């Protein structure tokens, strides 16, 4: 093996509390492909920042080979201070470097280079940051969750691009397929220390389980030895007559070892609160079409969702997956065709965009709704502290505001809230965001045992393969096709994965320089109040429709006008008011939904 380009030795780091890293090591050789894995909160991102030189450890050494170029991709890139995405992407290229490569990368990632960084979505900012770290062709690439906010075409493009680089790569990701494709060695950060496996991620989980089993066996032997020693101290004849001080010191050392030994972090305990069984047919769409202005999202689509199905929706960002999800669940009416829900459908939606989380509320109030210390799970009351611990939250976090939680912790909080509600239809929109691999495993197991029906939007290919029984894939403008099986089955039937949406670009004349195009006009981002409205309006529209139906039933009573004129007038006025409010609510919801589709696209 060639000499290491980057080395971390015996790294120790704390942030005023318990140690984050305790004696971690990292060695990266030329061309190496290393994945860094561990539970959420184990310190992976912190260790990567130490490797990038952004954090100074309390103790230990960082050594970079002379002349080696190291580039780091953070989870949340900062583009402030740059006028365009092109200026940002070129920021790390030396004066004599290839600036044309930054333009090529931006183009491949679907950006023109003229975008205003202040108006970028999360996915666009991530694409610009990828162009910036890839453009200089560094010797070492440190990538922290590079697939976050990317759609399937961008993930598969990035996978191919990284596979073809000569750079050494250290990679953090929750995307199993991505890790399996790129890694050749695995560094496991667990309880502050690192263990290295000279195989890729595909071999990691079996190895990890074996290591943990061996630890448990050793711990059991240690506990057994303590019992034996205590028996000798209490009942041994020699102990009663003359203390063997050496043996006593050995016993105290054993006790100290057990007391100070760091245990493996517990597992998430997931159960779903089940409701009554739904009808055999959960949802049926016949010849449905939906457009926003001149843009068609769905055209003449027919689908059936039966009890027990796990249907995955896949497509590039902006294809209309959220709209299709809204049509299937009855939250939105089609322009033509029909959608109907089956009998006794009780739906729970997991909103991974976290729009339903008030950032100022505490973790406890988010779980209980601010109503005391109890949370109802499956029709039974549980103390919030016990339920909170099922999802790996400590008692000290009860008063922590949501805005102070990490992305993974907010994801677990949303899971805890959603799974406490009774349901027979789970609607999961990007449920894997920010969840660690162990939590993903448990979510998959829980879904496998769930007796109801699942509607799923995801860019995680491995998760789709493990969960979905069918895939509805974007085939082009307004065209969707259902394939039996998971994502890999869809690829084998289609011959290709999900392709990017076509974006029209004016061709350059021969010899024309690649000047940035004029910035694309963008509407402002949705504010918190607008996102809240978008979440609440479908419920309000359903309430108004029920009110209209109730007034109509009243007016249908025989001889009501002659028998009770006041009640007749009240019902008539009620219908008029409800219809007016419903029309306004539908118009506002459509405006916000179109705005969100445009921003996400």
Confidence of residue 240 (pLDDT cuts 50, 70, 90): very low
Measured distance CA(218)–CA(213) in Å, rounded: 9
Residue 46 in domain? yes
Q: Do both 287 and 246 map to the same domain? A: no
What is the tally of structural domains in the chain?
Answer: 4
Tokens linked to 55: 């954090």
Q: Do both 354 and 408 map to the same domain? A: yes
Check whether 17 has a pLDDT greater than 70. Answer: no
Which residue, chain included where needed, has tokens 């320089």? Answer: 513
Contact 491, 465 (CB under 8 A): no
Q: Where is the domain boundary, 474, 494, 514? A: 494
Q: Which of 461-465, 516-520, 540-544 has the lowest mean pLDDT?
A: 516-520
Contact 129, 90 (CB under 8 A): no
Residue 312 in domain? yes
Residue 508 in domain? no
Mean pLDDT (whole number) for 297-305: 93
Check whether 84 has a pLDDT greater than 50. Answer: yes
Residue 270 in domain? no
The C-alpha angle with vertex 218 and arms to 212 and 223, in degrees rounded to 5, equals: 125
Q: Do both 441 and 541 map to the same domain? A: no
Query: What confidence score (pLDDT) does residue 186 get?
Result: 95
Q: Which of 143-147, 220-224, 511-515 has the lowest mean pLDDT?
A: 511-515
Confidence of residue 69 (pLDDT cuts 50, 70, 90): very high
Mean pLDDT (whole number) for 185-211: 91
Check whether 20 has a pLDDT greater than 70. Answer: yes
Q: Do both 113 and 165 map to the same domain? A: yes
Query: What confidence score (pLDDT) does residue 502 get?
Result: 55
The string of DSSP letters for 228-239 reads HHHHHHHH-HHH
Query: What confidence score (pLDDT) does residue 263 get?
Result: 47
Tokens linked to 149: 């906010």
Contact 319, 594 (CB under 8 A): no
Q: Do both 538 and 469 map to the same domain? A: no
Residue 516 in domain? no
Query: What confidence score (pLDDT) does residue 517 get?
Result: 36
Q: Do both 285 and 240 map to the same domain? A: no
Check whether 438 has a pLDDT greater than 80. Answer: no
Query: What confidence score (pLDDT) does residue 521 get?
Result: 36
Q: How many C-beta atoms lie closer than 10 Å to residue 284's C-beta? A: 17
Q: Do both 85 and 181 map to the same domain? A: yes
The C-alpha angle with vertex 178 and arms to 173 and 182, in degrees rounded to 5, equals: 100
Domain that holds residue 425: 281-494
- Find the radius of gyration of the CA atoms of the chain: 29
Measured distance CA(87)–CA(208) in Å, rounded: 43
Burial class (CB in 10 A: 0-12, 13-18, 19+), 290: buried
Higher pLDDT, 564 or 200: 200
Q: How many C-beta atoms lie closer than 10 Å to residue 56's C-beta? A: 10
Query: What confidence score (pLDDT) does residue 510 get?
Result: 38
Residue 269 in domain? no
Taking alpha carbons only, the member of 215, 453, 197, 175 closest to residue 329 is: 453
Residue 293's CATH number: 3.40.50.300
Residue 251 in domain? yes
Tokens linked to 31: 């061309």
Query: What confidence score (pLDDT) does residue 515 get?
Result: 36
Packing angle, helices 321-328 and 565-600, rounded to 10: 150
Q: Which of 203-212, 349-358, 552-561, 562-571 has the lowest mean pLDDT?
A: 349-358
Strands 193-197 and 185-190: antiparallel
Residue 313 in domain? yes
Q: Do both 195 and 235 map to the same domain? A: no
Query: What confidence score (pLDDT) does residue 246 get?
Result: 55
Residue 589's CATH number: 1.10.287.380
Answering whether pTM is above 0.85, one says no
Burial class (CB in 10 A: 0-12, 13-18, 19+), 522: middle
Q: Do both 122 and 175 map to the same domain? A: yes
Measured distance CA(34)–CA(26) in Å, rounded: 10
Which residue, chain included where needed, has tokens 């001889």? Answer: 559
Which residue, chain included where needed, has tokens 């084998």? Answer: 492
Which residue, chain included where needed, has tokens 């109907």? Answer: 340
Q: Do both 190 and 217 map to the same domain? A: no
Check whether 245 has a pLDDT greater than 60. Answer: no
Contact 323, 297 (CB under 8 A): yes
- Residue 594 to residues 108, 296, 318, Cα–Cα distance (Å): 26, 12, 11
Mean pLDDT (whole number) for 394-399: 83
Higher pLDDT, 322 or 71: 71
Q: Do both 330 and 429 map to the same domain? A: yes
Query: What confidence score (pLDDT) does residue 340 get?
Result: 92
Spell out the residues 6+ positions from residue 416 whose beta carbon is closer than 8 angstroms to its own: 367, 387, 388, 390, 391
**Percent share of the chain, pLDDT over 90:** 29
Displacement of CA 53 from its chain's centroid (Å): 27
Check whether 484 has a pLDDT greater than 80. Answer: yes
Q: Which of 88-92, 355-359, 392-396, 464-468 has the lowest mean pLDDT?
A: 355-359
What stretch of H or E contains 560? helix 560-563
Contact 279, 345 (CB under 8 A): yes
pLDDT tens-digit map of 537-554? 888 888 888 888 888 888
HEC string of 457-500?
Answer: ECCCHHHHHHHCCEEEEEEECCEEEEEECCHHHHHHHHCCCCCC
Query: What confidence score (pLDDT) does residue 144 get?
Result: 93
**Average pLDDT value over all residues in the chain:** 81
pLDDT tens-digit map of 310-353? 999 999 888 888 889 889 998 889 999 999 998 888 888 876 55
Contact 448, 188 (CB under 8 A): no
Q: Do both 82 and 39 map to the same domain? A: yes
């Amino acid at each position: 093996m060639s000499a290491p380009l980057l080395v971390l030795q015996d790294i120790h780091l704390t942030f005023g509390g318990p140690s984050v890293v305790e004696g971690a090591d990292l060695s990266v050789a030329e061309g190496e492909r290393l994945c860094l894995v561990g539970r959420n909160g184990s310190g992976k991102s912190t260790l990567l920042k130490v490797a990038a030189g952004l954090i100074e450890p309390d103790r230990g050494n960082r050594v970079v080979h002379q002349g080696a170029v190291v580039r780091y991709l953070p989870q949340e890139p900062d583009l402030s201070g740059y006028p365009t995405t092109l200026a940002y992407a070129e920021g790390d290229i030396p004066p004599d470097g290839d600036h044309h490569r930054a333009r090529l990368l931006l183009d491949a990632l679907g950006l023109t280079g003229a975008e205003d960084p202040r108006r970028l979505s999360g996915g666009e900012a991530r694409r610009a940051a990828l162009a910036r770290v890839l453009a200089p062709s560094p010797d070492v690439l440190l990538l922290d969750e590079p697939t976050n906010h990317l759609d399937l075409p961008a993930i598969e493009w990035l996978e191919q691009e990284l596979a073809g680089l000569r750079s050494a790569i250290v990679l953090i990701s929750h995307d199993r397929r991505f890790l399996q494709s790129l890694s050749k060695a695995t560094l496991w950060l667990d309880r502050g220390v690192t263990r290295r496996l000279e195989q890729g991620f595909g071999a990691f989980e079996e190895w990890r389980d074996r290591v943990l089993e061996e630890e448990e066996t050793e711990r059991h032997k240690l506990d057994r030895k303590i019992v034996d020693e205590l028996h000798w101290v209490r009942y041994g004849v020699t102990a009663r007559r003359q203390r063997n001080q050496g043996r006593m010191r050995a016993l105290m050392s054993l006790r100290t070892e057990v007391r100070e030994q760091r245990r493996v972090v517990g597992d998430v305990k997931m159960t779903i609160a089940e409701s009554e069984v739904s009808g055999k047919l959960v949802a049926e769409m016949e010849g449905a079409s939906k457009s926003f202005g001149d843009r068609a999202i769905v055209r003449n689509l027919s689908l059936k969702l039966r009890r027990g199905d796990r249907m995955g929706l896949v497509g590039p960002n902006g294809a209309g997956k959220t709209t299709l999800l809204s049509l299937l669940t009855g939250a939105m009416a089609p322009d033509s065709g029909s959608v109907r829900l089956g009998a006794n459908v009780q739906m729970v939606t997991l909103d991974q965009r976290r729009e339903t989380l008030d950032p100022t509320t505490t973790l406890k109030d988010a779980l209980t709704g601010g109503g005391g210390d109890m949370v109802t799970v499956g029709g039974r009351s549980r103390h919030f502290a016990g339920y909170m611990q099922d999802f790996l939250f400590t008692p000290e976090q009860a008063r922590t505001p949501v805005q102070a939680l990490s992305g993974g912790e907010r994801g677990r909080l949303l899971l805890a809230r959603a799974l406490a509600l009774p349901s027979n239809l789970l609607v999961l929109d990007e449920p894997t965001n920010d969840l660690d691999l162990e939590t993903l495993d448990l979510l998959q197991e829980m879904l496998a045992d769930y007796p109801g029906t699942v509607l799923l939007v995801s860019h995680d290919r491995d998760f789709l393969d493990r969960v979905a029984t069918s895939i509805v894939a974007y085939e082009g403008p307004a065209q969707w096709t259902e394939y039996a099986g998971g994502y890999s089955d869809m690829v084998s039937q289609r011959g290709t994965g999900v392709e990017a949406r076509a974006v029209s670009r004016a061709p350059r004349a021969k010899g024309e320089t690649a000047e940035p195009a004029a910035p694309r006009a963008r509407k402002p981002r949705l504010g918190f109040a607008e996102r809240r409205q978008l979440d609440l309006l479908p419920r309000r529209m359903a309430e108004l429709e029920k009110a209209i139906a109730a007034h109509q039933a009243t007016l249908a009573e025989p001889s009501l006008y002659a028998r009770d004129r006041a009640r007749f007038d009240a019902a008539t006025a009620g219908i008029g008011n409800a219809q007016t409010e419903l029309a306004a609510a539908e118009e506002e919801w459509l405006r916000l939904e179109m705005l969100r589709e445009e921003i996400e696209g």
